[in-house]
Structure 1
Amino acid sequence: MKVTRNTPDQLILSNTPWLMGIMLVVFILCFVGAGLFMATEGGEGIFFGIFFALVGGGLGFGAFCVFVRRVQVILDRRTNSIVIRRQSIFGYDTVEHDLSNLSHAEVETTTSSRKGTSSKMHRPVLILEKGMSAGRHPIVEAYVSGGGAQRLVDAVNDWLPAHKVDSDSQSA
């Protein structure tokens, strides 16, 4: 996920998993192509080829449905809103919150252990302290390694103080 716009009025965070999508499409095409090639050879290979194409292509399609999701978070001062948009091949989901309810952003961390080694995974979350949506709202569902979550949290928290100052000066 990356910052695609950072102006005084608007902060947009966006993630479009192009590489993952392209890799999965290539995976699907390879399995379906190989299966169809085996099926056209005739003989006993027909059933194995069809099975190979259906199972390989189906697994690739299932992975595509699960892992390829576009996420966009828009923090907008003009409309006093936070819009979280998620899009997959099955549809489009939009959640909207009041920007004035946003306290800050922080990183959620989880630790997983395998074979005596542990690794930490992170995701950015928005903390809404007021309103009907009060609570922790993940920007992305999945935990990832690296510093990307911290960069997003820093971008949101750096952008927010100007909002807090503006809203305080308007109410005075």
Structure 2
Amino acid sequence: MIISSDTPTRLTLIHRPVALLAALMAAAGLLVFLAGYNVHLGNSGRALLILLLILALLGPCLWFGMERVQVSFDATAGTCTIDIRRLTGSTVETLPLADIAKAMVQTHKGQSDSNDAHRVALVLGENRTENRRPLTTGYSTGPGAARAVDRINDWLKAQRGSARA
């Protein structure tokens, strides 16, 4: 997630997996090329298998690749709005800022030597599994989730400090 707006009264983060979408499009293009090449060579069975593979992978790839999430913390309204847009439609969820205890990093362990993947989640109330609200469907590698969590927690802390003063 990247921070698109950061003011004392509003913090907005956006998740658009552009690199993932580009990689998925490149892989699909390569598979289409391989299918066409196999047709050219007369290997229609192999070409059909490659096209079936494309169809099987296309749905989940587009689901994750086309997801757009915008999270806006608004101190003036006292709300956190989570706007999710996918191929299947849009959803908007509004949470009271007072219900958000903190943000945290959720980690998916990679197999053996592979990198771990992370995503941002909000803790609503007590820090128990059922109270964690992930902001994205997928996980990604790199420090982006940790940076977003740090900024959200700092912003929430500043809001709670100014509310007491």
The TM-score bracket by the shorter chain reads 0.7 to 0.9
Asked if structure 2 preserves the Cα contact closer than 8 Å seen for 1:5 and 1:11, the reply is yes
Gap runs ≥5 in structure 1: none
Residue type of the alignment partner of 1:8 = P
The answer as to 2:123 corresponding to 1:106 is no
Is the 2:11–2:74 contact (alpha carbons within 8 Å) kept by the matching residues of 1?
Answer: yes
Whether the 8 Å contact between 1:32 and 1:56 is mirrored in structure 2 is no
Q: What's the C-alpha RMSD, in Å, of the aligned pairs?
A: 2.8
Find the structure with the greater CA-based Rg: 1
Q: CA deviation at 1:87?
A: 2.1
Q: TM-score w.r.t. structure 1 length? A: 0.75
Residues 7-51 of structure 1 deviation map (CA, whole Å, 9 limit, x = unaligned) = 112111111111111121122122223323443x38x43454344
Alignment-mate amino acid for residue 88 of structure 2? F
Inter-partner Cα distance in structure 1 for 2:117 and 2:24: 23
- Residue 126 of structure 1: aligned partner: 122
Task: Answer yes or no: is the 8 Å Cα contact 2:64–2:138 preserved in 1.
Answer: no
Q: Which runs of 5+ in 2 are unaligned?
A: none
Alpha carbons 2:100, 2:122 under 8 Å: kept: yes
Aligned length, in residue pairs: 161
- Normalised by the length of structure 2, the TM-score is 0.78
Contact 1:35 1:48 in 2 (8 A): yes
Are the structure 2 counterparts of residues 18 and 121 from structure 1 closer, same or farther at C-alpha, using a change threshold of 3 Å?
A: closer
How far apart are 1:55 and its partner, in Å? 2.0
Task: Give me the identity figure in percent.
Answer: 25
